[in-house]
Amino acid sequence: MADSSARGSSARDASAHDAWFRDNRANWDDRSAVHEASGYGIEELVADPGRISSVLAQDRERLGDLSGHDVIHLQCHLGTDTVSLKRLGARRVVGLDLSPESLRRARRIAARAGAEIDFVEANVYDARSAVEGCFDLVYTSVGVLCWLPDVAAWARVVASLLRPGGRFLIRDVHPMLETIGEDVTDGLRIQQPYFERPEPMTWDDDVSYVAAPEGGPAITHGVNHQWNHSLSEIITAVLQAGLVLDSFEEYAHSDWAPWPELMVQDGDRYRLREDPDRLPMQFVLAAHRPADDGRDT
Query: Least distance from C-beta 172 to ligand SAM, angstroms?
Result: 9
Residue 154 lies near ligand SAM (rule: CB under 6 A): no
Nearest residue (beta carbon) to ligand SAM: 143
Radius of gyration of the chain from its Cα atoms, rounded to whole angstroms: 18
Stretch that binds ligand SAM, among 43-51, 137-145, 219-227, 235-243 (CB under 6 A): 137-145
Q: Which of 84, 141, 179, 226 binds ligand SAM (CB under 6 A)?
A: 141
- Alpha-carbon separation of residue 89 from 65, 77, 82, 84, 115 (angstroms): 6, 20, 12, 9, 11
Candidate list 84, 102, 160, 226; residue touching ligand SAM; CB under 6 A: 102
Nearest approach, Cβ of 46 to ligand SAM (angstroms)?
15
Is 228 near ligand SAM (CB under 6 A)? no
Q: Which residues of 243-253 are buried (b: 16+ CB within 10 A; e: fewer)?
A: beeeeeeebbb
CB of 275 to ligand SAM, least distance (A): 27
Q: How far apart (Å, rounded) are the C-alpha atoms in residues 78 and 98? A: 12
Length of the chain: 297
Q: By CB under 6 A, tell whether 81 contacts ligand SAM.
A: yes
Which part of the chain contacts ligand SAM (CB under 6 A), choosing from 57-65, 72-80, 277-285, 288-296? 72-80
Task: State the nearest-atom distance from the C-beta of 143 to ligand SAM, in Å.
Answer: 3
Among 23, 36, 97, 233, interactor with ligand SAM by CB under 6 A: 97
Crossing angle (nearest 10°) for helices 100-112 and 80-87: 40
* Contact of 139 with 58, CB cutoff 8 Å: no
Interacting stretch for ligand SAM, rule CB under 6 A, among 85-93, 95-103, 232-240, 282-290? Answer: 95-103
Say whether 26 sits in a helix, a strand or coil: helix
Closest CA to 284 of 246, 258, 257, 256: 246
CB atoms within 10 A of CB 15: 12
C-alpha–C-alpha distance, residues 75 and 59, integer Å: 17
Q: Which of 5, 295, 37, 42 is nearest to 148 (CA)?
A: 5
The answer to the question of residue 144 lying near ligand SAM (CB under 6 A) is yes
Interface mask toward ligand SAM for 12-51; x: CB under 6 A: ---------x--x---x-----------------------
Site residues, ligand SAM (CB under 6 A): 21, 24, 28, 55, 75, 77-78, 80-81, 97-99, 102, 123-124, 141-144, 147-148
